Amino acid sequence: MSETNAVRMLCVGCAAGIFAGIFTGVLPGCSSQPEAVESSASRPVSDAVAVDDADAEGVDDRTAELLRLMEQAQRHSEIDLDRDVWESDWEREGDAVFPGGRVAEQRTDPEVGAMEEAAVDVEEVIEIEASEPERVETRGERMDRLGAELAGALRGEFDEADLALGIALRAHALETIRPGTLQSHFPELALGSSWAGLSEPERKLLDAWRELNDAMAVGAELGDVGAMAETVGEAGERVRGLRGLRVTEALLATRVENFGIYTEVERRGDVYRFVAGQRRRVVVYTEVENFARRSTTKGGADGYGVELTQSLSLSHLGADGGDLVAWSMPEQTVDYFSRRPVRDFFLTAVIDLPETLTVDRYALKVRVRDRVTGAEAERVIRIDMVAHPSALR
C-alpha cells in the first residue's frame, strides 16, 4: 500500500471514530455507553457518512465541524489512485495540509517512477542494439594497406630520382613484406625484366638482393640461423665480382709457406731499408680478394679457375728522380685450379734488387690484373736505399 492510500485510510478511520463518539456520548455533553461505542465504531464508514444535514441541525458548532471533516475524508477516499500526490482542500504552496497544520510531502509513486525509468532504459537498450558496431581492421589488412601506401610513395620517388638503384633496393625489400609490390608498382624491376635504367652489374646486384630477402624470410620462419648465415655468404659470393679486385696486402718476405704464413723482412715503420751497392734477394708477397672464378675442367675434373697476372716496377721518389723507373719485372700469369671455390688467394714473386740502385727513396709498385673480368688493382711498397749499415738501425 502506498503512503498516499495509507493517509487516506487514516483520515477515514479517524473521522469514523469521531462520528461514533458524537452519537455515543463520548464527547462532552453526551452520555457514555461502552457498548454503544463498540457498536457505533463497528459500523461501516459509509453509514456514518450518510448522516444528512437535517439530522445535524441540532448539533453544536463543534459537531458540525466534525461532520465537515467526515465529508472531506469521504471525498479523499474517492480520489483517483493514479494521482501521484494527494492534495487536500487546504493547500499551501502546493503541499497538502492536514487539519492541525501538518504538511504532507509531495512524493512520486515509486512504482510509477520505476516503470518510467524502465521504459527509458528499454529505449536506450533498443537504440544501442540497433546501431552496428564499427568494424575493426585486421592486422593483415592494415599491413596490406600500409604496404600499398609505402609502395606508392616509393614509386613517386622512383620516377623523380636520377639514380634509382637505392629506391629499387628498397622496393625489392618491400616485396618480401608485401608480395606483389614489384608487379603492381615496379614492373620494370620484376624478375626477368630488362629495364634500361639499370646497368648489368646493378641488375645482378638487385637479383642477388631479391634472392637474399626471399631466402632470409624462409629461414626466419623456420628459425634456422645457420641456414640464414649460409644464405648471406652465398649471396656475397654471387656478387663478389661486382665489388672490384683489391690488393689487401703487399710486403717483402724472406720465406712464404702459405696464405698468411710468411717471414717478413725487418722494416722501420712502413719502410724497408737496404744498403746501396749490394744485391738483395727478397720475396714479394701479395694478397688479393674479389677476384673472379671461372667454371672450368682440368684433367677430367670439374672445378673453378682463377686467372691473375702480376707485374712489378721500382721507381725513384727523389726530387730529381720523379717517376723514373729504376727496375721492373714484366707481367707474369698465374693460373690456378680448384675443385672448390677459392676465397683466399695470394701471389709470390722472387726478385733480386740490383746493386746498381743508388741512395734514394723508392716505391715498388705491385700491379695485379684479373684476366677474367679485366679488373686491375695495385699497392705500393716503400723502400729506402742507404749509404751505410748504421742507417739501418
Q: What is the pLDDT of residue 371?
A: 93
pTM here?
0.56
Beta-carbon contacts of 360 under 8 Å, excluding residues fewer than 6 positions away, are 316, 317, 318, 321, 384, 385
Q: What is the pLDDT of residue 35?
A: 43
Q: What is the pLDDT of residue 93?
A: 45
Handedness of CA 147, 152, 155, 161 (dihedral sign): negative
The residues of the chain scoring below 50 in pLDDT are 2-4, 6-7, 11, 22-56, 58-59, 77-108, 114-115, 118-120, 122-123, 125-126
CB 99, CB 89: distance < 8 Å = no
Residue spans per domain, the chain? 3-111, 145-242, 246-392
Q: CA geometry: angle at 207 spanning 206 and 213, to 5°?
A: 85
Q: What is the pLDDT of residue 109?
A: 53
CATH topology classification for 246-392: Immunoglobulin-like (2.60.40)
Q: What is the pLDDT of residue 104?
A: 47
Q: Which grid cell sits at 197?
A: 635504367
pLDDT digits (tens, 9 = 90+) for 100-114: 444 444 444 555 554
Q: What is the pLDDT of residue 74?
A: 59
